Amino acid sequence: MADEATTGRALRPATRVVRAGLPDAVPGAPYLPGPVFAAPYHAPGDPAQSPYTYGRFHNPTWTQYEAALEALEGGPCLLFPSGMAASAAVLATLVPPGGRIVMPTDSYYTTRVLSTQPFDGGWCAAQGIEVIQAPTAGNGLAEALAANAPRGVALLWLETPTNPALEVCDIAALSAQAHTMGALVVVDNTTATPLLQQPLALGADVCVVSDTKAMTGHADLVLGHVAVRDVALLERMRLWRTRLGVIPGPMEAWLAHRSLGTLQVRLAQQCATAQRVAERLATHPAVRVVRYPGLPGDPSHALATRQMQGFGGVISFELADGAAARRFFAATRLVSEATSFGGIHTSAECRARWGGDAVSEGFIRLSVGLEDADDLLADLTQALDTALGAR
Ligand SMILES: Cc1ncc(COP(=O)(O)O)c(C=O)c1O
């Protein structure tokens, strides 16, 4: 397949996602070989002589998709059966017993739950791991790092833009600060994807992504991956994956690879429509606050413009209260009331219904899909009119 060596110039994102991870052309073979379903593989004699031996250890369909991810992330990757399985592997293998984690108060709820209050007795707590939480906005994370530097910090966890508040933090500056104290830096890059933001190039050690979201984008599978700069870190997580058996299904890995080819066109369209939607929300009287890094007035705009190649398809906004949100959902025809984001279907939800996020009853996270932008704007406008009108 065409690469930089053959074309003599850096390939653009649309080309990279279409070609990523495809094997060399073989007459009669498909572009993307189908999923391999196997528990044992033929492996006579010394197991080290067989590239594949047993389905919990490795699988050619994972290898194929991991190669595609590496081409986008800029570092070797490991596939997991969900974003949370990827995050758990990072936390379990990169923080020593008694270590300290600095983590945002406003990152994905389950990641915070996993680190602070998982299972009976607690996992981090049982390991003597201390989790220090600070807000993503402002200097909270930098101050938490500085305050804990004398005691030592093992890992700085970042998520940017955050789900659901869409706060943005400076990956390069925080990575540089964390590295001066010997801490590893992890970035949850789920809302941006490696096409809109490259954490490893910005200085992070590890990148975690829920491929359930925009990476695969069709709302039909659950998957996650990690990317690293230092392969030794990856090998620790590979061992964790193999020993615990937290492995992805070959069908999911193959579907993800197939979906990757449209990532650039999906994101380009979602970013363009999201920009128009955010602008409409910002001027509608039913809306109290809109957060979208692409809005020039957003507190994150300057930093996001420096750090990202696009602002993504997720917007958050606030209506007056829970009753206004219910009227909005009852009136809309094109916005599915559902959790998750990054898919081709526009969806939204009140995050307060789950608990755990510091948001009001009227706070809505909206994920912009691939519907026609004018249709979507018309539908959103009438739903917001209804949300406002009946008050
Ligand atoms: C930012 C972020 N990270 C990680 C996850 C976990 O991903 P998964 O649901 O694939 O386990 C999510 C899920 O919503 C998320 O929003």
Backbone angles phi, psi at 253, to 5 degrees: -60, -40
Confidence of residue 391 (pLDDT cuts 50, 70, 90): very low
The mean per-residue pLDDT over the stretch 351-369 comes to: 93
Does ligand 1 have an atom closer than 6 angstroms to the CB of 250?
A: no
Ligand 1 center to 210 CA (angstroms): 5
What pLDDT is attached to residue 387? 97
Q: Ligand 1: which of 103, 107, 109, 110 to mutate, judged by most atoms within 8 Å of the beta carbon?
A: 110
Q: Ligand 1: which of 108, 349, 366 to mutate, judged by most atoms within 8 Å of the beta carbon?
A: 108
341 CB neighbour count, 10 Å cutoff: 28
As beta bridge partners, residue 337 has 348
Residue 182 to residues 94, 155, 285: CA-CA distances in angstroms?
12, 9, 49
Q: Is the pLDDT of residue 1 over 50?
A: no
What pLDDT is attached to residue 33? 97
Q: How far apart are CA 163 and CA 357, in angstroms?
A: 9
Tell me which long-range contacts 149-153 makes (C-beta under 8 A, separation of at least 24).
149/180, 149/181, 151/100, 152/99, 152/100, 152/181, 152/182, 153/100, 153/101, 153/102, 153/178, 153/181, 153/183
Structure tokens at 225: 């991956």
Cis before residue 164, ω within 30 degrees of 0? yes
Tens of pLDDT, residues 156-187: 999 999 999 999 999 999 999 999 999 999 99
Ligand 1 center to 83 CA (angstroms): 5
Does ligand 1 have an atom closer than 6 angstroms to the CB of 83?
A: yes
Ligand 1 atom 10 nearest Cα: 83
Ligand 1 center to 108 CA (angstroms): 7
Ligand 1 center to 274 CA (angstroms): 20
Ligand 1 center to 186 CA (angstroms): 15
What pLDDT is attached to residue 238? 98
Confidence of residue 143 (pLDDT cuts 50, 70, 90): very high
Q: How far apart are CA 72 and CA 306, in angstroms?
A: 19
Tens of pLDDT, residues 76-98: 999 999 999 999 999 999 999 99
Least confident of 129-133, 193-197, 207-211, 232-236: 129-133
Does ligand 1 have an atom closer than 6 angstroms to the CB of 162?
A: no
**Ligand 1, atom nearest to 223 Cα:** 10
Q: How far apart are CA 45 and CA 210, in angstroms?
A: 38
Q: Is the pLDDT of residue 53 over 70?
A: yes
DSSP class per residue in 317-381: EE-SSHHHHHHHHHH-SS-EE-S--SSSS-EEEEGGGG--S---TTEEEEE--SS-HHHHHHHHH
Tens of pLDDT, residues 218-246: 999 999 999 999 999 999 999 999 999 99
What pLDDT is attached to residue 123? 66
Does ligand 1 have an atom closer than 6 angstroms to the CB of 193?
A: no
98 CB neighbour count, 10 Å cutoff: 11
Q: How far apart are CA 113 and CA 180, in angstroms?
A: 28
Ligand 1 center to 209 CA (angstroms): 8
Confidence of residue 117 (pLDDT cuts 50, 70, 90): low
Does ligand 1 have an atom closer than 6 angstroms to the CB of 222?
A: yes
Q: How far apart are CA 135 and CA 307, in angstroms?
A: 19
Ligand 1 atom 7 nearest Cα: 83
Helix (H) or strand (E) holding 81: none
Q: Ligand 1: which of 103, 166, 213 to mutate, judged by most atoms within 8 Å of the beta carbon?
A: 213
Q: Ligand 1: which of 82, 84, 222 to mutate, judged by most atoms within 8 Å of the beta carbon?
A: 84
- Give this prediction's pTM: 0.96
Does ligand 1 have an atom closer than 6 angstroms to the CB of 343?
A: no
Q: Is the pLDDT of residue 288 over 50?
A: yes
Q: Is the pLDDT of residue 118 over 70?
A: no
Task: Please name the amino acid found at residue 264.
Answer: Q
Task: Please name the amino acid found at residue 142.
Answer: A
Q: Is the pLDDT of residue 8 over 80?
A: no
- Cβ within 8 Å of residue 263, ≥6 positions away: 17, 193, 195, 214, 215, 217
Mean pLDDT of the chain: 94
Tens of pLDDT, residues 55-64: 999 999 999 9
Does ligand 1 have an atom closer than 6 angstroms to the CB of 349?
A: no
